[in-house]
Homo-oligomer: A and B are copies of this chain.
Amino acid sequence: MEYYGASIGKLIEALSALPGIGKKSAQRLAFHITAMPEEQAKGLADAIVEARTKVRFCSSCCTLTDGELCPICSSSKRNHRQIMVLENSRDLAAYEKTGRYDGVYHVLHGAISPMLGIGPNDIRLKELLLRLQDENGEAAADEIIIATNSTVEGESTAMYIVKLIRTLGLPVRITRIATGVPVGGDIENIDEVTLERALSGRTEL
């Protein structure tokens, strides 16, 4: 990119390393940044450094947060005996947006995938098992809602977790979020596997 100066070229390169940002968007963003008010550009740079250096895993649920505990785990308004297991923090944000869940979460940071070489020890599973028992060996939760994705990896992770929890022999209810036709979905356009699941998971009216 010798037709810009070196610093624009460097910025374009750094931006295009981000996911979902190609050469062209990176170029558009870079030119936008050079035309930004100086404090806004500095603010963006500071936010990047701050997020990278301050953010770590919540010591309870493993989601990304600033302090020792995330806002949800430290809230007394949440039901700490109902734990929803998710693949990542973005899924947590999606569930929080519904505003209809008042339990807590556990973020695995991935799903088991032999294809990609991701085993049970590569995700935050151990941390989940540790949370399920208190120091006396009693169950520290009443319900585990498994909300991994409806993909091959998500499903097999779900099955693996169920098996693992059962071996602990704790009186914990284990549930899985429903698979079915999404709201607004056109039956004609939905794949057979989903339809079959929607049928087998039908509920009484």
Query: Taking beta carbons and an 8 Å cutoff, which residues of A are in contact with B?
Result: 1-8, 10-11, 13-15, 17-21, 25, 27-34, 36, 38, 40-55, 63-67, 70-72, 88-90, 92-93, 96
Contact = CB atoms under 8 A, between A and B. Distances in A.
Counting chain B CB atoms within 10 Å of each CB, the highest count among A32, A34, A46, A63 belongs to: A34
A5 B54 contact: yes
Nearest to A52: B41
Contacts of A17: 40, 44
A65 B4 contact: yes
Contact of A11 (B4, B19, B34, B48): B48
A94 to B, nearest CB: 10
Given A11-B50, A20-B28, A4 B89 contact: yes
A141 B113 CA distance: 64
Contacts of A30: 51
Given A4-B93, A5-B66, A28 B19 contact: yes
Contacts of A20: 25, 28-29
Given A4-B93, A18-B44, A48-B48, 18 more contacts: A3-B92, A4-B63, A4-B70, A6-B66, A7-B54, A7-B66, A10-B51, A14-B43, A18-B33, A19-B28, A20-B28, A34-B64, A38-B52, A41-B51, A44-B45, A45-B45, A45-B46, A45-B48
Contact of A93 (B27, B49, B67): B27
